[in-house]
Structure 1
Amino acid sequence: MDIALLGPLGARIGQASVVPSAAKPRKVLALLGLDCGRPVSVSILVDELWGDRPPRSAEATLHTYVKQLRRLIAQALEPDAPRRGAGNCATSHDGPADKRQPIAARPAERLGPRDLLRRVPGGYLLDVPAESTDAARFEHLATAGRQAIEKGVDDEGCALLMRALRLWRGPVLADVEPGFVLRAEALRLEELRMAALEERFDAELRLGRHRVVLGELASLASRFPLHEALHAQLILALHRSGRSWQALETFRALRRTLADELGLEPSSRLRELHEAVLRGDPALDSEGTWLPRPLAAR
């Protein structure tokens, strides 16, 4: 199963979609997908579906949604059902504890919907590897990119971060109305995305690629008008591209927005950058780390 979370919800087995059309079963699939390979408790699923006012029939209704998902999985498996044991090292709970075997160690069997979406003590488990989701692949690539940058290998780090960021197709679960649980997880992933963007631009600027990232930075600064780190990176890229007047105007626009929206002044680090642009400080034209590290950490 391949699960897409970084944008509209998607889940496919081969060419067949297993995403339900109804809102609440979609939420169940989204939550199980975010935690695939790990049990999700009934209480968490109920909280996501109904918040602090669940109906008396909440658990029975939840089981109905799970049955709907299993029906879709069964339909997807029908044409050419895969065999159990292809790279899944989860433990089967179908028999007594002393006879359980890792799925990968058992003879190939026909995989069924109850094997993929399992009832476990206290909850449900989508029994597919975490790497089946674009979110898990994003986090893996972003971590590898960050580690490469920390080792001073900016080229490799940029390449890995770009691969991670290309997995995004829009806001997390863009077509799912989030409850308490999904909203928190979406915020966490969006923060990781912004961190990856900042780290990538830091490295690009250190490599002297200010012209390459200029358009992307301008677009992102427009989308996030209060984001100081992105504006600082844009100011530096503009200055290095011979457009210091635009760099200064970018600072003034950010200053007005911060004052109007939050009643705040730009950070001291950003004001230092502004003053350095005003005086044409030669340090801004080097490929060192005058800007990125302290500001990106804000």
Structure 2
Amino acid sequence: MPEPVPLRGLRFGILGALEVFRDGEPCAPTAPLQRALLTLLLLHANEPLPVSRIVDGLWDNRPPRSAVAALQMYVSAVRRILTPNWAGSGPGRQHPILLTRPFGYVIRVGNDQLDVHRFRSLAAEGRRQLSEGRCAEGGELFRRALAVWRGPALFDVGRSDAIGRHAVRLETERLALLQERIGVDLCQGRSLELVGELEELCARYPLRESFHQQRMLALYLSGSRAEALGAYQSARRTMVDEAGIEPGPGLRALQRAILTGSAAPSLHCSAIRCATCLARSDAHRPQTGRGGEMTGCRASHGHPADLGRATGGQGDGVGPAKVNRQSRARR
């Protein structure tokens, strides 16, 4: 656990442009290498970062001979920016935020001071809610987590290889949570309102098959079976033209399920369901709370993500026409 942070007025943001606020006023460094240094430290917040890794990260493994001396100057400059009234180093006088450690440095921040910590904390709580069957609450926490983002991570910081790799990893985390949020929305019966968003996502990330799966299911559950099948053909053309590959098993299984009305294999269609609904092995027995009340997606929406039931597979014989009537009734 990080030590208590005495300067609560500092706030940092890396999920978008690099941001630093001191008592509500922006104070981010402007010099490129100072910005890159602060970024590297924030990416490893509360974790001592060796001088060798910082140097490699700032100069892409091609440091000048004066790199260590230059780094010490950048550290001093960033410290002055973060705490203008700091009296300077001396015996027993560590900087309250950017500390010197054996062989390196560490920036000390609380969970509420760095936006990526807030994002991950909200995402984790959302997944916990889903695991307990509270899908609506989990979906709302996912929305709050995604709202922390202000744009592409670190888009205004000079991209060394190290910072670039971290930016890609952060974007991967965001897309994974976005996929989970859409899965919850599908299970909550919001298929029609998702169609436009998923069309944009498929255009922006044409080789990400999970978004194509979710788009197909959203169209199908909105009563547009032909368009859902057309979305598969469009996805297939894109993958063949841009990557020279056929769609993966998930897309093919979903296409067959829409064509034949058979149950979609959960192994390959996990991307289109929320975690709670996917975990239920009995697709026909509602989950109940302690008092016998239904919980989770199926409680209020009949579990529309169960494509086996929605397409008239094994079970109660609910077919596309009934699903379409239910979708129109919800609208």
Task: Sort the TM-score into its range (normalised by shorter chain).
Answer: 0.7 to 0.9
**Which residue does 1:272 correspond to in 2?**
253
What do residues 100-143 of structure 1 show as CA deviations (whole Å, max 9, x unaligned)?
xxxxxxxxxxxx99222222211112222143111111111111
Does the CA contact (< 8 Å) of 1:70 and 1:113 recur in 2?
no
Secondary structure class of the residue paired with 2:112: helix
Partner of 2:304: 287
In the alignment, what sits opposite 2:63?
A: 54
- Judged with a 3 Å threshold, the aligned counterparts in structure 2 of structure 1 residues 113 and 69 are, in CA distance, closer, same or farther, namely farther
- Cross-structure match for 1:241: 222
Supply the AA of the counterpart residue of 2:63: P
Residue 154 (structure 1) aligns with: 135
Q: Distance in 1 between matches of 2:103 and 2:307?
A: 53
SS of 1:140's equivalent in the other structure is helix
How far is the alpha carbon of 1:211 from its aligned partner?
1.9
Structure 1 CA distance for aligned equivalents of residues 108 and 91 of structure 2: 13
Cα distance in 2 for residues equivalent to 1:47 and 1:74? 26
**Which residue, out of 35, 39, 51, partners 1:30?**
39
> 1:15 is matched with which residue?
24
Question: Which range moved further: 264-273 or 56-65?
Answer: 264-273
The one-letter amino acid paired with 1:35 is H
**Are the structure 2 counterparts of residues 115 and 216 from structure 1 closer, same or farther at C-alpha, using a change threshold of 3 Å?**
same
TM-score normalised by structure 2 residue count: 0.72
Which whole-Å CA distance do the structure 2 matches of 1:152 and 1:244 have between them?
A: 29
Distance 2:149 2:69 in 1: 35
2:268 equivalent to 1:259: no
Gaps of 5+ in 2: 1-9, 265-301, 309-331
Is 1:120 the equivalent of 2:137? no
Q: Which of 192, 198, 201 is 2:179 aligned to?
A: 198
**CA distance change for structure 1 residues 277 and 290 in 2, over 3 Å: closer, same or farther?**
closer
Could you tell me how far apart the structure 1 residues matched to 2:145 and 2:83 are?
32
- CA RMSD in angstroms comes to 2.4
1:44 and 1:181 in contact (8 A); partners too: no
SS at match of 1:171: coil
Shift of 1:52: 1.8
1:69 alignment counterpart: 78
The percent of aligned pairs where both chains have the same amino acid is 38
TM-score, length of structure 1 as denominator length: 0.80
Residue of structure 1 in register with 2:231 after alignment = 250
Greater helix percent: which structure? Answer: 1
| 163-172 vs 263-272, greater mean Cα deviation | 263-272
Shift in Å at residue 236 of structure 1? 0.6
Structure 1 range deviating more: 27-36 or 179-188: 179-188
Tell me, in whole angstroms, the C-alpha distance in 1 between the residues paired with 2:306 and 2:155. 36
Runs of 4+ in 1 over 4 A off after TM superposition: 282-286
